[in-house]
Structure 1
Amino acid sequence: MLLTPLIDDDYLKQSVTAILETGTLPAIVQAGHPVLRAQALPFRGQLTGPELSALISIMTETMRAAPGVGLAAPQIGIPLQLAVLEDQYEVSADNAAARQRQPLELFTIINPRYIPVGHDLASHYEGCLSMSGWQAVVDRPATVDLAYDDENGSARTARFTGWQARIVQHETDHLSGTLYIDKAHTRSLASNATYSEFWANPDVVAAKAGLNF
């Protein structure tokens, strides 16, 4: 019988070492993995500079290979408050307008915290690399302010709106053990195939009417 791991600095170091030594991209763990539901450890210098840099590089490669627009360390089994984010995918003009989707340059967030700006919410389907094959509608603040440390240890703040704000919130939520399904309209849950057949619209108006949420 498997036991839930003790999430501490020793477990963190062992997890990172195991990934760095394999020489291959790690698997993205799926919902049900205990690390996905644990409070990730804040980065306090547990890794050396070269270790942190190598981990960020592996996470970036893993995110791009998936492909995805963000990856948090717990998604590869590492309980650390670290994520990489990037959105350079081409989307239709209608999609970009409805979702306020703008390109997002690659960047790293360490020990991030976000707060909503204003009261406006945006409702859209979103998925997760750790819940492969499914999507659901999540209401999220349309604009957030993010405080975080970069990969060099410099404290930074930035404001994000639209789809970029959604990515920031989704990845930061991972670091406190929260998956998007915890905040989703569960009646909207759809497999990727069903979403493509019925609800792949720039907005969620049809889905709300058809699925009654």
Structure 2
Amino acid sequence: MAPSSDVPSLRDRVEELLSRTGPLPIVAAGDPVLRRAAEPFDGQLDAALLARFVAALRDTMRAAPGVGLAAPQVGVPLRLAVIEDPAPVPDEIREVRGRVPLPFRVLVNPVYEPAGPERAAFFEGCLSVPGWQAVVARPAAVRLRAQDEHGSAVDEVVTGWPARIVQHETDHLDGTLYLDRAELRSLSSNEAMAERWAQPTPARAAEGLGFSL
């Protein structure tokens, strides 16, 4: 059976989004698009439209501000994400979390797998779950396989905070939110984070909120 002509194509959805001015609207938790596996990118957008969409994702991520944004977070179920982290943090946090500057890059059809047994647990937030953070234990290093926006293959090991960003954004493309992997007893408002849990590690939060690291 042919698809209904009333169902907009991915191209139509992107064109409609790009017809607006300013940052793209970010979809919040509760929208089904965040809970479905995204469609692999296979040329659904031509090169010019893809470049415009990537630029819009970049500008929206920066305006939020955030360090990553996946296409489903703006309502487009494609396996596409952008990441970037200038890492404007004190040296102590940089050292403990491995939060080093991550230049802007585009991930097309990314997948990851652990690269070693080490795990790291830190607070994370999400632009689609505004106002809250929770501790997530993740592999400290992952092997990332993807393409860039030009179709060139990516196959590399990513470590530290960049590895966390890669995992978080790739999870979005599988319909997974960070809360699915979080220690829920750690769930804290942004206000509580600023007042109580701004330390480089979540050790004090674990003691105060009663969870294990």
TM-score band w.r.t. shorter chain: over 0.9
Of 136, 151, 165, 1:153 maps to 151
1:3 corresponding residue in structure 2: none
- In structure 2, runs of 5+ residues without a counterpart are none
Question: RMSD of the TM alignment (CA)?
Answer: 1.3
**Counterpart amino acid of residue 159 in structure 1:** V
What displacement does 1:10 show?
Answer: 4.4
- In structure 1, runs of 5+ residues without a counterpart are 1-5
Three-state SS of the structure 2 residue aligned to 1:181 is: helix
**Counterpart amino acid of residue 202 in structure 2:** V
**Counterpart amino acid of residue 22 in structure 1:** R
Distance 2:129 2:192 in 1: 15
1:57 aligns with 2:77: no
What displacement does 1:12 show?
Answer: 1.8
**Counterpart amino acid of residue 20 in structure 1:** L
Asked if structure 1 preserves the Cα contact closer than 8 Å seen for 2:87 and 2:102, the reply is no
2:122 corresponding residue in structure 1: 124
Three-state SS of the structure 1 residue aligned to 2:52 is: helix
1:96 corresponding residue in structure 2: 94
2:160 corresponding residue in structure 1: 162
1:189 corresponding residue in structure 2: 187
What displacement does 1:20 show?
Answer: 1.6
1:73 corresponding residue in structure 2: 71
What displacement does 1:124 show?
Answer: 0.1
Distance 2:80 2:136 in 1: 23
TM-score by length of 2: 0.94
1:95-115 C-alpha deviation (Å, 9 max, x unpaired)? 111101110000000000001
Distance 1:58 1:143 in 2: 29
TM-score by length of 1: 0.94
Distance 2:95 2:21 in 1: 41
The alignment of Structure 1 onto Structure 2 pairs a total of residues equal to 206
Pairing of 1:37-52 with structure 2 (within 5 A): 37-52=35-50
Distance 1:108 1:209 in 2: 38
Distance 1:78 1:85 in 2: 17
Q: Percent identity at matched positions? A: 51
- Which contiguous aligned blocks of 4+ residues in structure 1 show a shift greater than 4 angstroms? none
**Counterpart amino acid of residue 201 in structure 2:** D
What displacement does 1:196 show?
Answer: 1.0
What displacement does 1:153 show?
Answer: 0.8
